[in-house]
Amino acid sequence: MTRVQIVIVALSAAFIGAMFTTYTITPDIRDYAKDIAMYDIHDRLQEHQDTTDALSPTKDFSATLEANPTRTTLEQKTNAGQIISSNKQVRKNVLFIIVDDLRPQLGAYFDPEHPDYFSQLKIHTPNLDNLASQSIVFKHNYAQYSLCGPSRTSLLTGRRPDVTRVFGNHWYWRDVGGNFTTLPQYFKDNGYLTIGLGKVFHPGASSNNDDPPSWTEPYHQVPYTDKYFLSNGSIGGWNSVSQKDVKDIPLADMMSTVTAKKILSNISVKAKTGEQPFFMALGYNKPHLHFICPEEYFYLYPLEDKDNFVPNVTWQKPNIRQQVRIDGIEMSDEKRFLPPDVLRKLRRAYFACISYMDHLVGEVLQHLDELGLADNTIVSFMADHGYHLGENEHWGKITTFEFANRVPLIIRIPGITDSGMTSSSIVESLDVFPTLVEAAGLDPVPNCPRNSFDISLCVQGTSLMPLIIEPNNNSKDVAISQIVDGRGMYYAIRKRVFRFVDYAYLKATDAADGKRITSLEWCANMECAKLFDHRNDILEQVNVVNETNYKDTVNKLQYQLHKFVEDQFR
């Protein structure tokens, strides 16, 4: 078996300094597509649930192979306000689905007629495409931080990382930021049964073991098994799991699916009548590394299909990022380049994991429908952050580029989004908290004032319900993302066709523990700044910050970004 040596850049918990370590990546044992007897993954799921819970498959695999999803922007709804008002009398349930490391690379985002990188790669996601056809699809949604812990904390509290004080995967916002009310906790406080399972918050210390105050009942975590991880100590490999292995030991996301369906069955009677509405948060790990999923999903993406495996791109200007720092489970070599054959196979495995996740989501959505809950349940689907697949000569996250920060967001609100709609407006992940609150008809959460550390209930996001009325209004036209780097913070503002990035040196009281920033000093003379123009640079390869014809744009975006950031600390 061929093994390719690459180098991992390991990042310390404080994101200071880089350490190079060599690991081995073991390729998938099947390098090329073959004709095999496909089996429905539902058969494996059914063997691990009670016979009374047995269901028909969501999609057989041949249908998945033949799927040809489309998306159409339709006329806006005009009765949204009336329906939201009526929700106060008949409270809707909420199914909140969050996945890990997913770019907006779904069939619902496929639109080859428009010059957008993500919209030109066709991914097999028939179940999510069906959900999107009954939902509003936000084409330009941005995470606030391209790392699991900070991003999930931000969107689930409705606060920006500078307020939660969570910049890594080991800080708990109730310790370092404030005793902030979370999205599920707010529903719990309003009489909802709140249920969490899979990966919703980042587990462990960063959430005090899945944040007990958020849930009505104890959190449901699936048993961990390392059976499918590579036995040679490798980090970041990919593999396909055989039918026999899946039958013997199901994958973690499979077990989350089985658990979710059982819980829905148990709570469905009271949920249908509105006697006991629920808020269920279901977190899937895939397509997070390792890229491991059942073998049949690899065959959706033959290596001969060159369109799906865009080769690595090369910097046109070397000053875009002088040093690449990548979390220890991510992959790059010291030259920031992976051999083309390795890159193609890694991308193939990543796409296979997306299709696998899509099938599991479909299982839950079909079960929701069969229980008679679909017409009374709001469904929200999103990712915590994006991921580089070799673009910008980077493999992983924790950057301020588009690839690490733009994520899918799909929201279905029965009676409002039934015919499907899309919005190209720029929105942010922390907008989901107030949006779901308003969609469910609950009392709105107040907006946070400056210096809101001591306020338990408020949000910095904005409800997206106005976009249901007019999907492309520009009431909110910017998104802010950030990452810690060394002794400071990179901030990025995405506005219209531009992404502007700048760096601030931070002074804080015990910054290593995520304490509050007391002052900041911006990098001088545009030395750390970057500007990308998406009209002719969708891959963000060319830094035009010092070009004369962009001077006015740079000045305006810099002023807006600096003011926005500085206002948070006053």
Which residues lie across from 494 on neighbouring strands? 479, 499
| CA dist 540 → 5, 222, 425, 498, 544 (Å) | 28, 39, 20, 10, 10
d(CA 415, CA 80): 8
d(CA 482, CA 401): 10
367 upstream amide cis, omega within 30 of 0: no
From 42, 202, 288, 290, active-site residue: 202
Rounded (to 5) percent helix, strand, coil in the chain: 30, 20, 45
Which tokens sit at 555?
């000045």
Say if residues 195 and 217 touch (Cβ distance below 8 Å).
Answer: yes
The residue written with tokens 């991992």 in the block is 8
Give the closest residue to 480 by CA, choosing from 544, 534, 561.
Answer: 561
d(CA 251, CA 232): 20
d(CA 503, CA 370): 51
Question: Which H or E run contains 66?
Answer: helix 61-66
Residue 328 CB neighbour total at 10 angstroms: 15
d(CA 343, CA 340): 5
* Residue 202 annotated among the catalytic residues of the structure: yes
**Three-state DSSP state, 137:** strand
d(CA 409, CA 135): 10
Task: Characterize the bridge pairing of strands 488-495 and 278-284.
Answer: unpaired
Give the closest residue to 91 by CA, choosing from 414, 370, 372, 430.
Answer: 414
Phi, psi of 275 (to 5 degrees): -65, -40
* Residue 458 annotated among the catalytic residues of the structure: no
Which tokens sit at 16?
């200071």
Which tokens sit at 226?
């390392």
Phi, psi of 91 (to 5 degrees): -70, 130
Which tokens sit at 229?
């991880």
Give residues with Cβ within 8 angstroms of 6, minimum separation 6: 22, 23, 25, 331, 332, 333, 338, 342
From 42, 124, 148, 359, active-site residue: 148
* DSSP label of 108: G
Give residues with Cβ within 8 angstroms of 454, minimum separation 6: 178
Question: Which H or E run contains 567?
Answer: helix 551-567
Question: Which H or E run contains 378?
Answer: strand 377-383
Say if residues 379 and 128 touch (Cβ distance below 8 Å).
Answer: no
Task: Characterize the bridge pairing of strands 395-396 and 388-389.
Answer: antiparallel
* DSSP label of 174: H
**Residue type, position 497, single letter:** V
Which amino acids are annotated catalytic? 148, 202
